[in-house]
Chain A
């Protein structure tokens, strides 16, 4: 079982809906990440949080809004998504950014946009 927990596992939403993806880890990690993975493709980095502050935004459209309320939680708020945003959204964490430690992934939220 993964130590990074993502909810929900599946989400279907319309293009006008607002929803949030949640990620939680209790490993004491201070870096957390959001990735997007399309079918049969590798994960692509979206955002990096380090000590609860946004350190990297990979030019992600503003309809994706990340939030890190505390060191254990990471949210991704979704609004006015497009059908091409349908994908597996993965959360990961690592001990500290910049320390060459592996990222540990959750099992993702599979998102479908109608």
Chain B
């Protein structure tokens, strides 16, 4: 399944399939991006990050792709599991004279169907 931009805040995927969550960020000066997973009743949990001088980064079962030309970020989760069900936020960081400000996207709720 694929979520295009922020217009579809929910995404349902069959267990074992791959999922793609998309995010459009706003500021071309953003230099660092993070994906977080937030389960019910918990704080955001770091998944993976990428700096603006890269276009792809891989972790365990997750890949982040960055397209600076169109200001687009995506999170790919391979072989989804029930524990992947959560709300996923992208966050963009803007550095200004040593200060950092992290701004979160609106989030996508991912539901894994057993």
Contact = CB atoms under 8 A, between A and B. Distances in A.
B7 interface: no
Interface stretch (A11-19, A75-83, A105-113): A105-113
A106 B41 CA distance: 11
B55 interface: no
A103 B41 CA distance: 18
B93 interface: yes
B7 to A, nearest CB: 16
Interface residues of A, number: 26
Interface of B: 31-32, 34, 36, 41-46, 49, 51, 89, 93, 95, 98-107
A107 B99 contact: no
27 contacts: A41-B106, A41-B107, A42-B89, A43-B44, A45-B101, A45-B102, A48-B100, A48-B101, A50-B99, A55-B99, A92-B43, A94-B100, A97-B99, A98-B99, A100-B31, A100-B51, A100-B93, A100-B95, A100-B100, A102-B34, A102-B46, A104-B46, A105-B36, A105-B43, A105-B44, A107-B41, A108-B42
Interface in A21-46: 31, 33, 41-45
